[in-house]
Amino acid sequence: MYTITENTLRTGQGFVPSASLRSFAGGFDNWRAEHKKDPLHFVVTEKQPGLQLTVSPKSDLPNPEMYMARKGRYVAATLVKTRHTTPAAIDAVARLLGVDARCISYGGLKDRTAVTSQMIVIEGVSLDHVRRSCFPSEQTLREHGFFLKDARPTDKRLSKGHLEGNRFEILLTVDGKSAAELSEYLQPRVNYLMAEQGNAPKVPNFFGRQRLGRRQNLMGVGREFILNGVNAGVKRFICEAVKENDHPKATEIRMELAKIWEEAEVRAANRGETVAEQFMCFLDMKAVLEAPIGYHKKPVWKMANMYIEHRLVNRILATKSMEQAVTDLRNDLSLSIGAYQGFWFNQVLGAVIDGKVPLSALDRGHNGEPVIPLYFTGDDQSVAFYKQVCPEAIPDKVDPFIKRLFLTNPPGRPGPRRSAFISVKNLEYRVHDGAVSFKFSLPSGSYATNFLAYLFELDQDDLEESNR
């Protein structure tokens, strides 16, 4: 039913079954549109319980005195960022506050090529110290790429998915089209999606290509972890060069790291040791990543956005154990396992849209809506589901350490499930000559670009093709 090519594993081509997506949207011929020409053209603001964050320097707290009166040993704040991945911004905040980045938790990743806001929680630091580090202004955002605001006490850390959703304000450019042409173009397409659904169109909840990381290779990394274990997965994560999608400097660095890694493998085999025990080789990798570059002599890993790679090499140096280093960076590296799970979720959802898998075959969530389990070896119900509807998702083998760390919950807890369809709430759009501006809200974990792809052929769509 499905095949995964090496090109899919390496570049993500076919991650979203575009033919199914466009079929659901009515099969219209779509005009090409560009997004993210400027970070301000893609604004993402997080919705937390009782609190809509914004990217404005002004406070979002409706009742500051009430928030400040709360008790807790942690400090919550709003992080507004641009030109930073979430891990990069967290590292910058950690340096600003003088804490380890692992002391800062957040609910989800936000787009690098956008202006975004999200809640973070910091431990091991006083409220006053965080408040003194809050300099919310547009100038701070332009010069440093982030600012903090609205520091307040809280009693719990954040975990992945700990948010209600996101509000999007997006400008798409459609060159050569007038406002009248765009209005005539959009009306039947939006009406089709809204048919019999009121003001909140319900659309398939595909995982987006953002799930695959900058190189678009995280599915290949995840598959490597699952089949061949930590050494193979870490090697692919650090060393695989995908020059079509990566920063040129990152590609150059990865090729250097790959040579050193191969040297570590040879030394390990000759000495009867593990790769992680080749201390001098990982010192060489650290030197490659930290080589100064540019006028300000910044370490090259920052320029190349290799934040996780840098942390991973340092953890291997500190622990001399690949398993411990992966455990310490579990949240960062779980994205690759999630990419593998996301591919198979997308293929099943595409088959539902195409009528090849009946809707009745899906599970039901707490609200009665259809959900699809992610492939999860520690969940018998998940495994049985994929055996029935998509046996290709079940790998030939699963590394036992990876199974325990990423694919097994404590006894009694099932694996993750994801809504098959989501409602696009508060949808508004305005047409302009050569552009359309959208505003809408999506629940946590949903992708704005996937929704917009029902209306336009986005500038990323030439990478997509159906794998079925």
Same structural domain for residues 144 and 224? no
**Domain of residue 70, CATH code:** 3.30.70.3160
In the block, which residue shows the tokens 């019999």? Answer: 196
Is 254 within the bounds of a domain? yes
Is 291 within the bounds of a domain? yes
DSSP state of 206: P
DSSP helix/strand/coil, 363: strand
Cα torsion 291, 297, 301, 303: sign: negative
Is 198 within the bounds of a domain? no
Query: Which alpha helices (DSSP H) does 197-329 contain, by range?
Result: 218-239, 248-271, 279-290, 300-303, 307-319, 322-328
Task: Kindly give the confidence (pLDDT) of every residue in the chain, 468 residues in length, as a single tens digit, with 9 standing for 90 and above.
Answer: 577 888 889 988 889 998 898 899 898 999 999 998 899 999 999 999 999 999 999 999 998 888 888 889 999 999 999 999 898 899 999 999 999 998 999 998 898 889 999 999 999 999 999 999 999 999 999 999 999 999 999 999 998 888 999 999 999 999 999 999 999 999 999 988 887 556 678 899 999 888 898 899 999 999 999 999 999 999 999 999 999 899 899 999 999 999 999 999 999 999 999 999 999 999 999 999 999 987 778 899 988 989 999 999 999 999 999 999 999 999 889 999 999 999 999 999 999 999 999 999 998 988 889 999 999 998 999 999 999 999 999 999 999 999 999 999 888 688 999 999 999 999 999 999 999 999 999 999 899 998 999 999 986 543 333 232
Is 125 within the bounds of a domain? yes
Is 124 within the bounds of a domain? yes
Same structural domain for residues 236 and 327? yes
Is 138 within the bounds of a domain? yes
Same structural domain for residues 147 and 253? no
Structural domain containing residue 296? 214-331
How far is the CA of 65 from the CAs of 18, 68, 80, 152, 333, in angstroms?
49, 5, 22, 10, 39
Is 456 within the bounds of a domain? no
Q: Which of 331, 362, 392 is where one domain is finished?
A: 331
Question: How many domains, the chain?
Answer: 2
Q: Is the backbone of residue 283 left (phi > 0), alpha (psi -120 to 50) or beta?
A: alpha
Same structural domain for residues 61 and 134? yes
CB 43 within 8 Å of CB 116? yes
Calculate the CA dihedral of residues 369, 374, 377, 382 and round it to 10 degrees: 30
Same structural domain for residues 223 and 296? yes
DSSP helix/strand/coil, 153: strand
Instruction: Enter the pTM of the model.
Output: 0.88
